Structure 1
Amino acid sequence: MVTYVEALALAREYLEDSDIPLEIVYEGEFSEGWYFCYQSKEYLDTGESSAKLAGNAPFIIDRTTGVLHEFGTAYSLESYLEEYVRLKLEGSSE
């Protein structure tokens, strides 16, 4: 099992791999772990629209495995979370 503190550390480590500085701007917990949304530090510091990320998909850290899963941008975060829970439940019932 992964704690929130461990999940946050994994999320920050993941964002450090980027070519540009990134910061978590929104996070939360759901039944299977924690989700994180992020934005460029430059945009957050300056508000310059040219520094704003486009297509930056949220990701989760699974509370059981500690594995990071990226989502897409076509649907709402809630839709992706619901789908993740559904697929995980289907996988555990096999």
Structure 2
Amino acid sequence: MITYKYALERAREYLRDSEIPLQLTHEGEFSDGWFFCYQSKEYLETGNSSAQLAGNGPFLIDKQSGELHVLGTAKPLEAYLDDYVRGKSGKSE
């Protein structure tokens, strides 16, 4: 099992791999890990809508494996988290 500190560092590493500066905007814990949302640093600092990201889905870090999973944007975050938990439960049956 990994720690929140490890998950946060992993999330920051993921964002550092981008061609533009990105910043975490929201994070939280759920039963199987932690989720992270992000936006362009320029947009957050200036409010310039042309710098705002579009289609940037949140991602999660699994508590057990430390794996990073990118989520979609079509549904609310909670729906993706529920799907992830159900999917893991189905694999163990």
The verdict on a shared fold, with TM-score over 0.5 as the criterion, is yes
- Give the length in aligned residue pairs: 93
CA shift, 1:92, in A, is: 1.4
Amino acid at match of 2:37: C
Which ranges in structure 2 are unaligned for 5 or more consecutive residues? Answer: none
Name the SS for the 1:73 alignment partner: coil
Amino acid at match of 1:32: D
Distance 2:72 2:81 in 1: 11
How high is the TM-score relative to the length of structure 1?
0.98
Aligned pair 1:69/2:69, yes or no? yes
How high is the TM-score relative to the length of structure 2?
0.99
Aligned residues with identical type, % of pairs = 63
Which ranges in structure 1 are unaligned for 5 or more consecutive residues? Answer: none
Deviations 1:6-45 (A, max 9, x none): 0000000000000000000000000000000000000000
Q: Aligned-pair RMSD on alpha carbons?
A: 0.4
